[in-house]
Amino acid sequence: MRRTQFLYEEADRSVNGKISRVLVVLLALTLILAFVPACSPKEDTTEEETTEETTEPPLKAAMVTDVGGLGDKSFNDLSYEGLKRAEEELGVEIEVLESKEITDYESNIDQLASAGFSPIFAVGFLMTDTVVKLAPEYPDTQFGGVDEFFDPTIENVVGLNFKEEEGSYLAGVVAGMATKETFDAKLNDKNIIGFVGGMDVPLIKKFEAGFIAGAKSVNPDVQVISLYTGSFTDQAKGKELGLSLIDQGADVIYAAAGACGTGTVQACQEKGALFIGVDADQYLTIEGTGDVMLTSMMKRVDNAVFQTIEAAVNGDLKTGENQVFGLKEGGVELAPFHDFDSKVPQAIKDAVEKATADIIDGKITVPTTL
């Protein structure tokens, strides 16, 4: 009887032991299964959060430079400033391709359009024909033609143009009055001023026409001598023509010749004449020229480029038209007199202010041709 009871007790312990081991195994499996799902959602959440934090730029904007390239201290650099501002303020992805030769225009635009950039800015009137040819091949790409007027207009292109003649008129007012003054030792008594143009084309003729008109409005007897470099990059030619003008008696020289103007500034410093810069405030862009840099006629290409990109980001960019920016639209203006501010007579400053107001009010219509 005792043995039978003992066997029952042993069997009971054996069964309980097996049950305990089974329970331990089940518990372990339960913990493992509970742990795995707990980890999985955490990984998924991390991936989702990472995806949410990675945002695409609102658009990709680019520009193709004219042959002057970046560093021209002129409209290529100004266009790039507008592009960089859009990158900083609007989060736009930007790209620049420089053209060393005119033959680079087409391949550069092709490359950017194929890569999905839009708008693409073609900088300089020399690129007009290339834009006319290529824009229809990329109907989903928007183009901005800086200094390019399209007639007829193109559906996906906006021409960004400026009333250079209005800003040049103000430069002429300054030069025409300054040559009769004695506020600087570089000014003589010959009543002659000079103009250095780049390529002899209608766009640059607008600068010349406005400059001469402005000078004659305040000094009818002033002689204006105009010379053209035939280039926008030949600084040596710009210097040569600057020296020639000074030898002929010019004491104030206005250059609308791209990078050639840097050479003209050097001529003014070497031979003694005052200089009026163009496109940018060249007191700031051509270092060490404060001794001759009277002022500059600024084209706010940077504003036009930025505003075009901003409109594209907002989805309201108007293409198929030509836009024109003058004094009234803030597209052109005179730079400060900087180092000459205390020297320049108040009469010149007043004359510039009056001419500005009269142009904006329509009392003066500035000629665009000679």
Distance between CA atoms of residues 225 and 195, nearest Å:
6
Whether 234 and 109 share a structural domain: no
| Co-location of 141 and 263 in the same domain | no
Other CB atoms within 10 A of residue 311 CB? 16
pTM: 0.77
> What CATH number did the domain enclosing 341 receive?
3.40.50.2300
Q: Are residues 206 and 278 in the same domain?
A: yes
Q: Which domain holds residue 184?
A: 165-299+337-360
Beta carbons within 10 angstroms of residue 14's beta carbon:
10
Same domain, 127 and 200: no
Q: State whether 261 and 348 are in the same domain.
A: yes
Q: Where are the alpha helices (DSSP H) in the chain?
A: 2-53, 75-90, 104-114, 128-134, 164-178, 202-218, 235-247, 260-271, 282-285, 301-313, 346-360
pLDDT of res. 56: 72
Domain endpoint, select from 162, 184, 219: 162
Q: How many domains does the chain have?
A: 2
Domain end, chosen from 162, 188, 214, is at 162
Peptide bond into 58 cis (omega under 30): no
Asked if residues 119 and 317 have their Cβ atoms less than 8 Å apart, the reply is yes
Does residue 352 fall inside a structural domain?
Answer: yes
13 in a domain, yes or no? no
- Give the other-Cβ count within 10 Å of 165's Cβ: 25
Kindly give, in sequence order, each residue whose CB lies less than 8 Å from that of residue 127, ignoring residues fewer than 6 positions away. Answer: 64, 66, 105, 145, 148
Q: Average pLDDT of each block of 10 consecutive residues along the chain (370 residues)?
A: 45 47 46 46 45 69 94 87 97 97 96 98 95 97 97 98 97 98 97 97 96 98 98 96 98 96 98 96 95 97 94 96 94 97 98 98 97
Is residue 311, in this structure, part of any structural domain at all?
A: no
Give CA–CA dist 249/191, Å, rounded.
Answer: 8
Q: Is the same domain home to 196 and 266?
A: yes
Q: What is the pLDDT of residue 53?
A: 52
Distance CA 243, CA 211 (A): 20
